[in-house]
A and B are shown apart, each in its own frame.
Chain A
Amino acid sequence: MLLFRSEDEADAWCAARAEPRGEMLSLDTVWALSQAWYGNRLSPSYRGRTLEEARRVFTGVGLNSPFWQS
């Protein structure tokens, strides 16, 4: 996941490399996602997460499109 200043920059970068154009998230959304995804990563009880748990993390930060479905 790479960092850009604008959608246009991402479009140009993807086109120049024939890379798939996926979804763009604001850094604020990525910070919210980071806290939900990584907040328990150092817990001794961490045991990974199921696909359903991953889906709940995504929907919890407003990521509901098919892109975020398993």
Chain B
Amino acid sequence: MNENLTGQDWRIRLYIYQFFVAHGRPPSHDEAAQHLRLDPAEARAAYHRLHDHHTLFLEPGTNAIRMANPLSAVPTDFRVYVGAMAYWANCAWDSLGIPAMLGADARIEATLAHSSEAVSYTVKNGVLQADPFLVHFSLPFARWYDNLLHT
């Protein structure tokens, strides 16, 4: 998978993730270009290649990162607190994807879909502590990339 991405594309992707983790928001392509000493047009093209290969997801019609799974650039029903940082997760799965990715303890504040009840759960020393919640995966894996905003 992703044979068409270059080594530079992957370096840009890693920088995006590192920046997102450090700042709680994704970098613009200009910020990536400046940090990696690239032409902004080159960074912008890399952002779109990464999007085309499902490595991140751009806001439709823009150069702005909407998702770098499990991180979301926009508010959601899933807020993840890790140390002094707070992140938005794209979904219930990604709310646990953030502590999994960081290898860190986390407290998640979430809203249940049907009742709008505010709930919380934690990961501590690799152990999940939560009520017996259920996560609904609406689409089968074969269709996940049809529409990531829906999935």
Contact = CB atoms under 8 A, between A and B. Distances in A.
Contacts of B99: 34
A66 to B, nearest CB: 7
**Size range of the chain A interface in the assembly:** 35 or more
Contacts of B8: none
B14 A44 contact: yes
Contact of A6 (B69, B130, B134, B135): B134
Contacts of B123: 31
A30 B96 contact: yes
Nearest to A36: B100
A66 B140 CA distance: 8
Interface string B37-59: 00000000000000001110000
Nearest to B96: A34
Contacts of A25: 134-135, 137
Contact of B132 (A13, A20, A26, A47): A26
Interface in B1-56: 1-2, 5, 10, 14, 17-18, 21, 53-55
B100 to A, nearest CB: 4
A25 to B, nearest CB: 5
Interface residues of B, number: 52
A33 B17 CA distance: 20
Interface string A33-66: 1110111011010111111001000100000001
Interface of A: 1-7, 9-10, 12-14, 19-28, 30-31, 33-35, 37-39, 41-42, 44, 46-51, 54, 58, 66-70
26 contacts: A1-B137, A1-B151, A2-B92, A3-B92, A3-B111, A4-B133, A4-B135, A9-B113, A12-B114, A13-B113, A21-B136, A23-B137, A24-B137, A26-B132, A27-B135, A34-B93, A38-B97, A38-B98, A38-B100, A42-B17, A46-B10, A46-B14, A47-B1, A68-B141, A69-B141, A70-B142
